[in-house]
Amino acid sequence: MREILKTENLWKIYPDGTKALRGVDFVLRKGEFVGIMGPSGSGKSTLLHLAGGLDKPTEGEVYLLGRPLSTMNEDELAEFRKRRVAYIFQFYYLLEDFTVLENLLLIAELSGIENAEEKARRILDFLRLSHRLNHRPSQLSGGEQQRVAIGRALITEPAVVFADEPTGNIDWEEGRKIFDLFRRLNEEEGISFVVATHNPDLRSYFHRIVHLRDGKVV
């Protein structure tokens, strides 16, 4: 199976001396659905941020789709992330002044996606949001807002999705539906997922789980 992501001896030390990651080695293969689990402060979010190129390691290297991220300048990295990587966070970060459909179309326009409106409508239909196209985020439930955030991530047809506590702000039933969606996307579209969560009830969704504690794989 082809490697989508590989980290080698990944360290992240913040200016205050906090060692968020301590020599982490991690591999994600094409089509995998991997969970990153551990207590709060174990380094889960830091690993996702470094793996997706949102932050830079203090030491070590990240290879994403075969490319070492350290060799890219900021413009190259931004362009690379724009079309190959997607992020879903605990907080939805939707644009409040735009409708559901417009939230997706803006990302599509910035990424140069062709047939953007057709694609956005198809994604929103898949996400059970066709009846919400013209609503603004404030008019949606938490689960609906998270599904819009997922749609926004999918519009660029990413090879890998990084999700950081994506069910942290919604109830268990909505969280289960979100993970059912992730599993469908993984199985039907072949999208690889790395999901950070501290919820043990979600273990059964993952192909495998990487456990972090104090910035180390355990």
The number of residues in the chain equals: 218
Residue 123 in domain: no
pTM: 0.92
Domain range for 170 is 3-94+160-217
HEC string for 38-49: CCCCCCHHHHHH
Report yes or no on 119 lying in a domain: no
Q: For residue 122, tell me if it sits in a domain.
A: no
φ/ψ of residue 12, rounded to 5? -140, 115
Would 59 be classed as within a structural domain?
Answer: yes
73 found inside a domain: yes
Give the pLDDT confidence of 107-161 residue by residue, as tens digits. Answer: 999 888 899 999 999 999 999 999 999 999 999 999 999 999 999 999 988 999 9
Residue 169 inside a domain? The answer is yes
Would residue 138 count as lying in a domain?
no
> Could you report the per-residue pLDDT of 75-89, keeping only the tens digit for each?
999 888 887 899 998
CA distance 53 to 61: 11
With respect to residue 55, please indicate whether it lies within any of the assigned structural domains: yes
Name the domain count of the chain.
1
